[in-house]
Amino acid sequence: MAEVLHVYQCLAHGEPMREFDEALAVENKGLQDCIHGRHGSSRQVLLMDQETLLEFGIEPGRARENITTRGIALAALTLGQRLRAGEALLEVTKPCTPCRQMDEIRQGLQEAIRGRRGLLCRVLQAGRIRRGDRIEIEESAFAQHGSGKDAVSEVH
C-alpha cells in the first residue's frame, strides 16, 4: 500500500522544512502554509519517496519535499498522472531537477540524485493530507486516451 509518511511545509524563506501531522492542500496553490506553493505554478507540491531518501542517506524533509511517500514507484508515473493523497487530488507536472541545495546536504549529491529527485505536482482538488494517508493512483484523462505521455523517469 502506498502511503504518506511525512508532511512538510516551509513557513518562511531560508527556514528549514517543518513537519506537520497534516496540511491542507489548496487547489491550484499547494500546501496552505508553505511558501513554496504558488498559485498557477506547476511546482506546487514536491513528492519524494522514502526508498530514494534511504538509498542516498538523506533524512526525510532534508531534501525539502512536502510529502515523503512509501510504497509507490514515483519514477514510473507519467506526466499528467493523478494521485489521490488523503482528501487531495494531485497531478504530476514534472520531475524535480536537483539544485545546489542537494550539494549543501552532501557534496556531489546534486549530480548523484539526478533523475531521482522526486515529482512536482499541482493541486487539482483541495483537501487534507495526513501522515498515514493512502496514496492511490487514479486514471488521468491522458492515460484513458493514450496520449503517449512519457514516464517521468524518461523525461530529463
pLDDT for res 146: 46
Per-residue pLDDT, averaged over 66-84, amounts to 95
- pLDDT, mean over the chain: 89
Q: How confident is the model at residue 141 (pLDDT cuts 50, 70, 90)?
A: low
Enter the pTM of the model.
0.87
The pLDDT of residue 145 is above 50: no
The set of cell numbers assigned to 82 is: 493523478
Say what the pLDDT of residue 139 is: 72
2 class by beta-carbon count within 10 Å (0-12 exposed, 13-18 middle, 19+ buried): middle
Query: What is the domain partition of the chain in residue ranges?
Result: 3-145
Q: Is 70's pLDDT higher than 70?
A: yes
Dihedral, 128, 139, 94, 12 alpha carbons, nearest 10: 0
pLDDT band, residue 147 (cuts 50/70/90): very low
How many residues does this entry show for the chain? 156
Q: What pLDDT digit, counting tens, does each position of 29-62 carry?
A: 999 999 999 999 999 999 999 999 999 999 999 9
CA angle, 83 as apex, 14 and 127 as ends, to 5°?
A: 65
* pLDDT-above-90 percentage for the chain: 79
CATH of domain 3-145: 2.40.33.20
pLDDT of residue 100: 87
Measure the CA–CA gap between 15 and 147, rounded to whole angstroms. 40
